[in-house]
Structure 1
Amino acid sequence: MPEETRAMVNVLQELQVFSAKRGNAFAQTLLEESIRRLREESFTLVIMGEFKRGKSTFINALLGSELVPTGIVPLTAIPTIIEYGSAPSALVTFENGDSHSISTDEITLFVTEKENPRNEKQVREVRVCYPAELLRQGVILVDTPGVGSVYQHNTDAAYAYLPHSDVAVFLISVDAPVGQSELAFLGDIRQYVHNLIFVINKIDILAPGQLEELLTFTQKVLKETLETEDITIFPLSARQALEAKISGSEEQQKKSRFTDFERRLNDLISGGKSRLVREVTSARALRVISELEMELALWQKAMEGSLEDITEKVARFEKELTILEREREDSIYLLYRDIDGLGRKAEERLRDFRKQVLPVILGQYRNFAREAHGTPKEIGQSLKEKAHELIEIALAEHREQEKQLLSVGIQETADRFFRNIEEIVDRMMTVSSDIFGVSVELAQSKEYILGDRNFSYYFHDFPTFYPPLEDIPGMGLIPGALVKKKLVKTYEDRLVEYFELNCGRTRSNLIEVLKEVATGVAGELRLRADLVSKGLTTALQDALRQREAGEHERQEALAVWQDDTAMIQRLKAVFKESTVNPK
């Protein structure tokens, strides 16, 4: 941890202790989160590109170990997140929120298309801890599913990780020219990633003289597509680099040209990220300090002047707070309304999905049924499995799309209302200033006070039920020639019935999820405003009580106030210096 970061953590801990003393739980939580972020100072490096470009081998070369599964067919079906740990370990997280610890040797069972086809195990992600020096620096590696493979769910999962990257490494391979799907994917990456590094992998298979020609062509295409001259490409061989690190061969390492890329990566890691985190943390701390300053200032004002004047001002202040509390509740009402609106849009999308998809899967089922052969039992079993598969695939794709759409909608809605509540808090401060005649410094931006909220949720997966063959009424009485026709019709009816049933269950779960989110956000909105209101009111009440106490108690209270004020001013100076002159 850099010395500047360590010093800021120490000052934040002082402020956290002071906030606890004042009973401000919101400030405690916010400062605790800021301390965690400073200590972690994570740097997320997302590895992306089309399938078969060597992404997993590239990550293994960075780690110096064959940790991530590799192969010649589309392998990685699940995002694999790799971070530092003192010993190798892995944790699988499923779509229903459950987690399961595994050994690193078992990773293949969950992240490869072979062992987990079409993600039938419903894995959300695999998180791996590993004692590599790169990871010790706070780097988090993300191995994404390959885009452009025959498995669309791989491409969807890769797109989902774009917003999580500080730097994205886009791999191109010498054995395939840059294609349209890669260029389209690059266009999307540019919307989310400020730092994009290009790597041409597998240069070890090129004949002498071919590399320069390939570099010239690739650079030209990328510049035209991205409309920028700022394109940097690192040609290298991840395979040679990995072999060199395992064997300790300096000659092999030099041939791989991997060191040039690692040097650039180290420059990015040691660059502006730490400073940015400290600037944001200072801004959050200064907002907390301004609220604590107001509490101390109100206490001082309430201790001075005539009791009649202070009592009248306190009454005015409490009246204004009541008005602001009503505005807060109005805002929460609008929050529920807007989240209900998200639900209505999702229900409309579900209705459209049902209308559009049911004819498609019925057509697929009928095409399959025409080619079905075997005994009645074998035909029935294959029809049942096909119907089940069609429903599962269709609903899985819809659920994934809804998760992404709703995550964005919920986050935008929540952030908007958190900003509304910060405006109400600012008005509490302004009212205090106006009534009691104390100065107040209001932050220009309120983004930082919101913290790092990511509203995640999952859709329950409901098992689809199909009756066994012997349970189909009258099956034993039907002539053999008509059995297949009967089976096809029976399972087609079942397909429609259970498709509708599972759509209905998806809708019910959607409504349940949105209610939970709305309740959680509303609770945080109330807590934020209530704690500021309580802090200001308590300061006034304490002062009024201490005015009635004896001279000795008054002097003790004044001494505490002087110490607290001096501490707050000292901490404020530290954080202001950090925002004005960041190092």
Structure 2
Amino acid sequence: MLETFRTRQVEITTTLRELLSIAGRVGARSLAGRLGSDVVDKLSADRFHLVVVGEFNHGKTTFVNALLGAEVLPVGVTPTTAVIHHLEYAPEPRAELVRASGERTAMPFEEVRKFAVGQEKGSESATSEVKHLEVFYPAELLRERIVLVDTPGVNDLSLQRADITYSYIPRSDAVLFLIDAGQPLKESERVFLNDKLLGQSRDKIIFVVTKKDIWSEDEEEEALAYIRTELAKLIRTPVVFPVSAKRAAEGHPEESGMPELLGHLTKFLAEERGRILLDNALGEGLEAARMLVKGIDARRRAAQMSSEELARRIELLEKDLAGQSRTIEERRAGIREEVAAIRAWVQRDLAHFVDDVTRQIPDLVDNHSAEDIKVWLGPFLEKTFADWAQAETKEIANALEALAEKTIALVREDAHDVAKRVGQALGSDVRSPSVEVDTLGYDVGVFALFTLGLGVMFTNVLLGGLLLLASPVLAVYVKDKVEAETRKRAKELAPNALREAAARVGPKLDEMIQEFAQRLDQWVVTAGEELHREVIEVLEAARTERAGKAPGVEAATQACDAEARELTGVVERLETMRRSLWTTDAAAK
């Protein structure tokens, strides 16, 4: 499946480069620049990210080594992965240390094994300055442009690092959640799945039961039935694969279950993630082609104009663009006004939430023993904050979605007016540019914005960002302090933790809302000026050619006709590829 995806990826990239070539010859520089950097380059550089999560002693590192086909990472009887490892393909083994500052340091591949729990104090591997370790290795799985993220194993998943839970996992393409065959679905794993993982990544979790070699055939059937039944209480259709990394390492892949897991994994990536990625690029290419049709038409008309007439038309379009800028500024002002209102009520909601929970804390503390408070208070605050953040981000998403929909409708109306005026300036009928929702979605950095919905975006991105900031304060700070303090101190520390978390989260909320607004604002400018700018650029290119050794009218017209025919062929191929993208797999089923 991944081979098929890569073949399609290369085919689509090659066809989009043909569009780039036509845009360059026509003189549509801005369009060519956007298509090249935002679509072609992004598609060419794309990677699939897999995150491996599991408690210590579940055979996680052994499993990762089995995926790689070699003992790349250290395996021991103590938790061995002290830092996050990014594993990527390279012809020769090598490694790089990435610090929190962004600084990178090359290191010998053999030193990868030093980054483990239990290193002597003061060693580089034991410092908190290390963000992650990038390990490059010539493994076949990684050759498929897959980045494997191996996370630190812990004794209790609730102690998992916040950046893994709220940053890596939401941004992954698939999550491999490891379960130990000897102790399937511990309570701590159920809690982690229910409270922290399922809400963000329900549709991309693959459950891997490790050490299946400890079971007999009858035991395996019974144990898997139990695991699937229990997981079904948390997720509707759990995907479960039993594996034995030990049997794989011993050279018995047919008994290991690894081929079946890898087969499912590659199909999942190609279909669930890959098709959306390719469809998005095809949609962008078709939109660019529609704009190029107008550019070729403008170039054909320019060939038939005198130099004076061409200069007059360019001047007319530039004046109209200046007038259009006022309309665009009105749209931008509307965005700023509505976003300011959203930011204000979000900050009020956060303040009210902190006040409400703070008022409840004394009664809650009084109704529990000091021993209970040590165990219960931190997780309670974390869950309460997460529940509020989940509800709040949905409200924010709905408000921003409504703003985006209204903005699209207004820009679409503006585009019709612009097309009429541009047509008058060129002395022809010009159809309005297609102002598509998926174009906005691409500019905002979300796949199929109004298919998946802003709610998905904010659950995966904004909510994750909030909890990444708040979780360490609420779950660790409070718990550690209360363990050494009295019930009285708990009443003081819990509100302080809430206020500290709110102080971190408030600016982050504001920042992310403004970031979305800025992208929407940029899209309004681009969409509002696109037709003007492309036509002006094409006419300017024609004028420049005419100032040099320009071809005659007949030759220029023939060149435009040839480019139009070439463009028609490219569009037909893009449309065919887009249809086959969604029909081939359906027919196979």
TM bucket, shorter chain: 0.5 to 0.7
* AA aligned opposite 1:442: S
The 1:449/1:218 distance shift into structure 2, 3 A limit, reads closer
The 1:234/1:536 distance shift into structure 2, 3 A limit, reads closer
Q: Specify the alignment match of 1:449 in structure 2.
A: 442
Matched, 1:576 2:579: no
Q: Specify the alignment match of 1:284 in structure 2.
A: 284
The 1:137/1:511 distance shift into structure 2, 3 A limit, reads closer
Residue 321 of structure 1: how far off its partner (Å): 1.9
CA distance in 2, matches of 1:409, 1:184: 26
TM-score by length of structure 2 reads 0.66
Residue 289 of structure 1: how far off its partner (Å): 1.7
Q: Specify the alignment match of 2:208 in structure 1.
A: 199
Q: 1:281-321 CA distances to partner (integer Å, 9 max, x unpaired)?
A: 11011112222323344555688899899899959954762
CA contact (8 A) 1:300 1:543 kept: no
Mean Cα deviation higher: 566-575 or 419-428:
419-428
Q: Specify the alignment match of 1:49 in structure 2.
A: 54
* AA aligned opposite 1:538: I
Q: Specify the alignment match of 2:86 in structure 1.
A: 81
* AA aligned opposite 2:65: N
Residue 172 of structure 1: how far off its partner (Å): 1.2
* AA aligned opposite 2:102: D
Q: Specify the alignment match of 2:476 in structure 1.
A: none
Residue in structure 2 matching 1:329, options 328, 332, 336: 332
* AA aligned opposite 1:445: V
CA contact (8 A) 2:335 2:521 kept: no
Matched, 1:220 2:226: no
Q: 1:405-426 CA distances to partner (integer Å, 9 max, x unpaired)?
A: 9999999998887777765654
* AA aligned opposite 2:430: V
Residue 84 of structure 1: how far off its partner (Å): 1.1
Mean Cα deviation higher: 33-42 or 451-460:
451-460
**For residues 287-436 of structure 1, what are the structure 2 equivalents within 5 Å?**
287-298=287-298, 318=321, 321-331=324-334, 333-334=336-337, 337=340, 340-341=343-344, 344=347, 348=351, 426-435=412-421, 436=423
- Other structure's SS at 2:156 match: coil
Question: Which has the bigger relative contact order, CA under 8 A and spacing at least 6?
Answer: 2
CA contact (8 A) 2:61 2:73 kept: yes
Mean Cα deviation higher: 21-30 or 108-117:
108-117
CA distance in 1, matches of 2:204, 2:29: 39
Which blocks of at least 5 consecutive residues in structure 1 are unaligned?
Answer: 360-366, 368-396, 461-494
Identity in percent? 21
- Other structure's SS at 1:576 match: helix
The 1:37/1:232 distance shift into structure 2, 3 A limit, reads same
CA distance in 2, matches of 1:101, 1:28: 33
Residue 532 of structure 1: how far off its partner (Å): 0.9
Matched, 1:58 2:44: no
Q: Specify the alignment match of 1:177 in structure 2.
A: 184
Residue in structure 1 matching 2:44, options 39, 45, 48: 39
The 1:304/1:421 distance shift into structure 2, 3 A limit, reads farther
CA contact (8 A) 1:171 1:200 kept: yes
Q: Specify the alignment match of 2:566 in structure 1.
A: 567
CA distance in 2, matches of 1:282, 1:205: 48
CA contact (8 A) 1:48 1:146 kept: yes
Matched, 1:438 2:430: yes
CA distance in 1, matches of 2:351, 2:131: 26
CA distance in 2, matches of 1:39, 1:149: 39
Residue 201 of structure 1: how far off its partner (Å): 1.1
Residue 32 of structure 1: how far off its partner (Å): 3.2
Residue 574 of structure 1: how far off its partner (Å): 1.9
CA contact (8 A) 1:425 1:532 kept: no
Residue 264 of structure 1: how far off its partner (Å): 3.3
**For residues 215-254 of structure 1, what are the structure 2 equivalents within 5 Å?**
215-228=224-237, 231-241=238-248, 243-244=249-250, 249-250=251-252, 253-254=253-254
Residue 173 of structure 1: how far off its partner (Å): 0.8
The 1:305/1:424 distance shift into structure 2, 3 A limit, reads farther
Residue 62 of structure 1: how far off its partner (Å): 0.6
CA contact (8 A) 1:77 1:112 kept: yes
CA contact (8 A) 1:78 1:125 kept: yes
Q: Specify the alignment match of 1:11 in structure 2.
A: 15
- How many pairs align? 515
Residue 559 of structure 1: how far off its partner (Å): 4.2
- Other structure's SS at 2:33 match: helix
TM-score by length of structure 1 reads 0.67
**Alignment RMSD:** 5.6
**For residues 53-132 of structure 1, what are the structure 2 equivalents within 5 Å?**
53-76=58-81, 78-95=83-100, 97-103=101-107, 104-107=109-112, 112=117, 121-132=128-139
Q: 1:85-113 CA distances to partner (integer Å, 9 max, x unpaired)?
A: 22223334444x42322434444555648
Residue in structure 2 matching 1:167, options 148, 160, 174: 174
* AA aligned opposite 1:327: E
The 1:316/1:84 distance shift into structure 2, 3 A limit, reads same
Q: Which has the larger radius of gyration?
A: 1
- Other structure's SS at 2:233 match: helix
CA contact (8 A) 1:79 1:142 kept: yes
The 1:77/1:410 distance shift into structure 2, 3 A limit, reads farther
CA contact (8 A) 2:444 2:520 kept: no
